[in-house]
Amino acid sequence: MALIGLGALGTLYGHHLAAVLPKGHLRVIADRDRIARYQSEGVYSNGERCDFFYALPDEPLPPADLVLVAVKALQLEEALEAIRGQVGEHTVILSLLNGISSEGDVAARYGWGAVVHCVAYGMDAVKQGNRLTYPHMGTLCVGPRAGGPVPETVQRVTRFFDRTGVPYELDEHMERRMWGKFMMNVGVNQTLAVFGPDYGALQRAGEQRETMIAAMREVVALSQCEGVGLTEKDVEVWLQVLSTLNPAGKPSMRQDVEAGRRTEVGLFAGTVLKLAAQHGIAVPVNRRLLDRIAEIEAGYAKP
């Protein structure tokens, strides 16, 4: 298998899989500069140095059976080009990205037959520099987009997860699950990006929790226009997921703000505002969050 992206999710699942697969059966795809940095500084997961086999995008290697794409949305186009040499006729591609659009981006390059819909949830990883820490590994949810028989590609992935001990869930209506995760990210990531500091601030009553839930309810309204049909019950389900996270943990968007990096606000509030304009729906909470995050990014110290 191949993996591209050593952020929180890439490091978490890469470390787990490298430990259980034969040496070299997991390739981490990266450019020459990144590989040199990873090899000299190391990549650590819960205090252990990851034993990765690195490969350049243009190395002449056989196609991978499975490719995990674990970059941020801003790097997706570059990553999809970098994995071209890993993709063959029978390769399955899993996107671990946030949002509701990355599967379509993968399919535009490699066809829907290569895509297995996936949502990562329940992990509370924090990555600082080259070191990742997490108390909960979380779950990868996979399945067909909207019901029907479970495709052979999904069955191959679940058999692989069974063999390698990756926690997973099979959901036969992944479009709804992906919108639910999107709804949670819109509320959690953006609220903490603006207010901080950690999940604990959203697990107790107060302005931050109210802002988060209001942003999520705007996604519920949009989902109904899009034919997905989230309801208040879905809000309650994802709030329950939030309640299981480490109170001291924080999402990637908050970590980006603290590190002075560009965030994925376009993937969250940007998508909400675009869909809201198409359907003639007011989404004032997401508008405020987008504007505030844009102000925060504009205030970063210039290098």
Q: Is the pLDDT of residue 303 over 70?
A: no
| pLDDT of 134 above 70 | yes
Would you state the pLDDT for residue 126?
A: 84
Q: In the chain, count H helices and then E strands.
A: 11, 12
Q: What does the pLDDT read at residue 58? A: 95
> What pLDDT is stored for residue 123 in this prediction?
86
Tokens of 145: 């987009």
Least confident of 28-32, 152-156, 241-245: 241-245
Q: Span 135-158, mean pLDDT?
A: 93
Least confident of 11-25, 48-62, 242-256: 242-256
- Mean pLDDT over residues 125-137, rounded? 90
Q: What is the pLDDT of residues 51-101, one digit of tens each?
A: 999 999 999 999 999 999 999 988 999 999 999 999 999 999 999 998 899
> What angle do helix axes 232-243 and 207-225 make, rounded to 10 degrees?
140
Token reading at 18? 């490298």
According to DSSP H, which parts of the chain are helical? Answer: 8-20, 32-41, 76-82, 102-110, 152-164, 174-195, 207-225, 232-243, 252-259, 271-279, 284-298
Contact 97/76 with Cβ under 8 angstroms?
yes
Cα dihedral across residues 156, 157, 161, 164: positive or negative: positive
Please determine, for residue 287, whether its predicted confidence score (pLDDT) is greater than 90.
yes
Kindly list the structural domains of the chain, giving each domain's residue range(s) and its CATH number in brackets, ordered by start: 2-172 (3.40.50.720), 175-298 (1.10.1040.10)
Q: How far apart are alpha carbons 25 and 40 in whole angstroms?
A: 22
Band (19; pLDDT cuts 50, 70, 90): very high
Q: What is the mean pLDDT of residues 276-291?
A: 97
Tokens 């952020």, residue located: 7
Above 80 in pLDDT, residue 297? yes
Q: Which tens digits make up the pLDDT trace of 185-205?
A: 999 999 999 999 999 999 999
Write down the mean pLDDT value for the chain: 95
Reply yes or no on whether the pLDDT at 18 is more than 70. Answer: yes
Please tell me the distance from the alpha carbon of residue 229 to that of residue 25, in angstroms, as a whole number: 41
Residue 125 has pLDDT above 90, yes or no: no
pLDDT bin (cut points 50, 70, 90) of residue 159 is very high
Q: Is the pLDDT of residue 301 over 80?
A: no
- Read off the pTM: 0.89
